[in-house]
Amino acid sequence: QKEVEQNSGPLSVPEGAIASLNCTYSDRVSQSFFWYRQYSGKSPELIMSIYSNGDKEDGRFTAQLNKASQYVSLLIRDSQPSDSATYLCAVGAAGNNRKLIWGLGTSLAVNP
Amino acid sequence: DTGVSQDPRHKITKRGQNVTFRCDPISEHNRLYWYRQTLGQGPEFLTYFQNEAQLEKSRLLSDRFSAERPKGSFSTLEIQHTEQGDSAMYLCASSFGSNQPQHFGDGTRLSIL
């Protein structure tokens, strides 16, 4: 069964620090990788997508993909209290349907 | 470019009643997905459409659940004879093709009394 695993946390970091969130996946032929942020009671919001090995930066967010090791990570620089949320990793399955396989999410708390 | 729209935002109903939810995807998106999410869990896949064709339905989904996307635009999700365990947030998402990010609506929160 195809799986996506995340540390459930909570991950607690002080304001201004770097938060590092990790995700591993089991399907070697996965082709697309996404990070979503979800505030309590709200729906998931896309923050990063990555398709190739290496780093992709967008503002304070950096996604890192290593297909050989089957992990994808998200770094949040200069963490703010407003970054406190659950971060969901989603991996696009290979094959005709290519639906997303979701992790359970990592809870992040940024302390002022 | 309007986002994904879901209606209603909240639904409270008695056990045994039928409920129907509506989702309007982003206009140019051909794929539409339904998920269910409970507290502390990631989104649980229910079904998805490419245009008007329903391509996959979760094996976890009982026959009480049905979804349609009659003209390849909006979609409806119906739950018949609701049970306590159906209480959850029902999320709709859309994307333009496979391997593309999915964009979510605000969800419909269902509470079964």
Q: Residue A107 and residue A85: Cα distance in Å, rounded?
A: 6
- Structure confidence at residue A73 as a pLDDT band (50, 70, 90): very high
pLDDT in tens, B65-96: 999 999 889 999 999 999 999 999 999 999 99
Report the pLDDT value the prediction gives residue B99, as an integer from 0 to 100: 78
Average predicted confidence (pLDDT) for chain B:
93
Chain B residues touching residue A103 (CB < 8 angstroms):
42
**Nearest residue in chain B measured CA to CA from A43:** B106
CB nearest A43 (choices: B44, B99, B107): B107
Residue B23, class by beta-carbon neighbours within 10 Å (0-12 exposed, 13-18 middle, 19+ buried)? buried
CB distance A72 to A32 below 8 Å: no
Chain B residues touching residue A44 (CB < 8 angstroms):
43, 91, 104
SS (H, E, C) chain B: CCCCEEECCEEEECCCCCEEEEEECCCCCCEEEEEEECCCCCCEEEEEEECCEEEEECCCCCCCEEEECCCCCCEEEEECCCCHHHCEEEEEEEECCCCCCCEECCCEEEEEC
Interface residues from chain B to A (CB-CB < 8 Å): 33, 40-45, 48, 55-56, 89, 91, 98-107
CB nearest A43 (choices: B33, B56, B104): B104
Report the pLDDT value the prediction gives residue A72, as an integer from 0 to 100: 97
| Mean pLDDT value of segment A20-26 | 96
Chain A residues touching residue B105 (CB < 8 angstroms):
43
Q: How far is CA B96 from the centre of its chain?
A: 17
Interface residues from chain A to B (CB-CB < 8 Å): 31-32, 34, 42-46, 49, 51, 88, 90, 92, 97-100, 102-105
CB distance B24 to B111 below 8 Å: no
Q: Residue B8 and residue B64: Cα distance in Å, rounded?
A: 20
Report the pLDDT value the prediction gives residue B71, as an integer from 0 to 100: 87
**Nearest residue in chain B measured CA to CA from A86:** B40
* Stronger pLDDT, A18 or A92, i.e. the higher one: A18
Cross-chain Cβ contact B99/A102 below 8 Å: no
- Structure confidence at residue A9 as a pLDDT band (50, 70, 90): confident
